[in-house]
Structure 1
């Protein structure tokens, strides 16, 4: 994630801010520029970027009214939703206050996901534009299903379903323990599920498929049977030498989606570290080179996975150590073996090529 500032007073602001805490100017995210901008009101519900009297005019996304979005749309646009919110097919019932709070948390994660996809230059097409190859989200509560049925978080031909209870910290922690997972976050769900979508878009029926099968395995293996075997027998004993997580061992598709999610974890966190100009240099008697890093380069622009990983190892070590000092779990409780770095390198290459085609 980039570091943003109020374009009126230069105060550092968060990606989600819709006003500046220092000067109180309204703020909005302008997706074409990928920047948060301070706004001056022109007419009712119409704004222009600060100090741009002849510039474009904007309105807030319609979901701003529910405190669920701070993105901008062109003033007078027939589409009242921004590039991120137009991907929603179903949202929870807003007559339920608990639903509103959970939906707002989901939108924070989804907007961060879409920002990462914009940074990668990947195609973002809604199912409204293309029902067959587009992307859409259903945010559902169990109450919206027939009695006794549960909403299952997952992906089906571009439709990503998220159970809104994942936005409840207690519910999510209970699920994490029940599933014996070391990591479970709302943003992690989005990153994993959208990985399935981009497998369809970037790998299936492309020249990348042969290399994919070499690294991740044959996706033609029966998925339902693979799931049954995984839950009956668990992962192989040596799974951590070849996979980023135990769940990645389930099936080729899950290995891809898990590794894809970690790729987004890594590049987004490194971009934040780069924006802050972080330097990691442990003050121990004999510091090895692989534990030091000066994180100044945007990871989305790095050409090789080796460059990324040279910075990720010391940064993740520092982040985990800081969390332990606060009595919190590790930020990144994973070990990345060479086999997974090779898979990450493949994803990095595929994304860079797809992004360049879009550029």
Structure 2
């Protein structure tokens, strides 16, 4: 994530800010520019002070204070590039649901920041029969009814809003023996399934062949594979081959977990670059741990450049967390096979960017990426 600053007073801003804390200017995010801009009201519209001839209105969800993204005045959409993918939102008449929705939207907008930065193809359900749509819903009141499962199916991402409650999410993480569980992590994982359909299944045959060589044959019975995973657990050597225990359940899950970690790595390195971070450890083997993160991770030439910066950074941040008595920020090991899988994701993203000719790609009605 890049750093932002107020164009009026140069105060450092966060991606989620609605107002500048120093000068009080109203702020809005312009996705096309990847810019958080200070605004002035003019003739019923909002105009960036650095481009006063441009006119915007806020996303309709700004009325609930869950979105700070802008929509161009001439755009027929009521919602921004992120919110127009919503299909269902929580019942706001239920106490606490508005705050849960805000937390989920904060994570979802960070997801879309990355997807737009990568120039990955995005389509709504109105634009494509398997376009990306999102349901954010709660478990039913009836305790005997089926619970809402966070997951993906044919372009639909479902998020159980209970994941927005820290205590509930931590309970689920511990109960499932997971090392890491966040709302943003859920979004990154589930959108990995979406892009597997779009870029691997519907991509060139050689991409599917390469996928199967690395991750396995996705034609394996999915339900049976998950039942086996939950009954027997992961194989004892899973760390040698996969980024997480859950990744061993099925090739689809291995890919989605790897995709999520690729987004974790790239966006965190992007933040480190924005802060100008560098490491010069005061140990004998400092040369192996020294690094300066001075490149745009979203435009890295290869996965090796990402990994070479990521490994020293995670050692440093994990050590900082331990100094605060906290768990490791990144409690995972990147084995050689995992790095190779991350390289597949990197190449897949680069291929989609090339197919989109440098812009946000689209899909044709038959599901293929427009080239």
Q: TM-score range by the shorter chain?
A: over 0.9
The question of whether the paired residues in 1 share the 8 Å contact of 2:133 and 2:156 is answered with yes
1:154 maps to which residue? Answer: 151
Post-superposition offset of 1:338: 0.4
Q: 1:181 aligns with which of 178, 201, 210?
A: 178
Q: Matched residues in 2 for 1:158 and 1:146: separation?
A: 28
RMSD: 1.2
Q: Matched residues in 2 for 1:144 and 1:64: separation?
A: 28
1:190 maps to which residue? Answer: 187
1:221 maps onto 2:213 in alignment: no
Normalised by the length of structure 1, the TM-score is: 0.97
- Cα deviation per residue 1:254-299 (whole Å; 9 max; x = unaligned)? 0000000000000000000001100011112x12433111001011
Shift of the 77–121 alpha-carbon distance from structure 1 to 2, 3 Å rule, reads: closer
Q: Matched residues in 1 for 2:154 and 2:177: separation?
A: 28
The question of whether the paired residues in 2 share the 8 Å contact of 1:145 and 1:151 is answered with no
Q: Which moved more, 1:349-358 or 1:21-30?
A: 349-358
1:295 maps to which residue? Answer: 293
Q: Matched residues in 2 for 1:18 and 1:78: separation?
A: 23
Post-superposition offset of 1:51: 4.0
The question of whether the paired residues in 1 share the 8 Å contact of 2:280 and 2:286 is answered with no
The question of whether the paired residues in 1 share the 8 Å contact of 2:163 and 2:183 is answered with yes
Post-superposition offset of 1:87: 0.4
Post-superposition offset of 1:148: 2.3
- Cα deviation per residue 1:225-250 (whole Å; 9 max; x = unaligned)? 10111111111111100000000000
Name the SS for the 1:15 alignment partner. Answer: coil
2:136 maps to which residue? Answer: 139
| 1:1-359 → structure 2 map (5 Å cutoff) | 1-44=1-44, 46-53=45-52, 55-130=53-128, 132-143=129-140, 147-205=144-202, 206=204, 207-284=206-283, 286-358=284-356, 359=358
Q: Matched residues in 1 for 2:209 and 2:9: separation?
A: 52
Post-superposition offset of 1:311: 0.1
- Cα deviation per residue 1:108-130 (whole Å; 9 max; x = unaligned)? 00000000001111011111222
Name the SS for the 2:244 alignment partner. Answer: coil
Post-superposition offset of 1:146: 8.4
The question of whether the paired residues in 2 share the 8 Å contact of 1:121 and 1:356 is answered with no
Post-superposition offset of 1:6: 0.9
Can you give the 5+ residue segments of structure 1 that lack an aligned partner in the other structure? none
Q: Matched residues in 2 for 1:146 and 1:59: separation?
A: 42
Name the SS for the 1:97 alignment partner. Answer: coil
Q: Which moved more, 1:309-318 or 1:321-330?
A: 321-330
Post-superposition offset of 1:52: 2.8
Name the SS for the 1:161 alignment partner. Answer: strand
Normalised by the length of structure 2, the TM-score is: 0.93
- Structure having greater relative contact order (Cα 8 Å, sep ≥ 6): 2
Shift of the 300–51 alpha-carbon distance from structure 1 to 2, 3 Å rule, reads: closer
2:368 maps to which residue? Answer: none
Post-superposition offset of 1:147: 4.6
- Cα deviation per residue 1:76-132 (whole Å; 9 max; x = unaligned)? 5331100000000000011123110000000000000000001111011111222x1
Q: Matched residues in 1 for 2:74 and 2:302: separation?
A: 43
The question of whether the paired residues in 1 share the 8 Å contact of 2:9 and 2:23 is answered with yes
Post-superposition offset of 1:10: 1.2
Can you give the 5+ residue segments of structure 2 that lack an aligned partner in the other structure? 359-371
Say how many residue pairs are matched.
Answer: 355
Q: Matched residues in 2 for 1:332 and 1:14: separation?
A: 22
Q: Matched residues in 1 for 2:41 and 2:339: separation?
A: 49
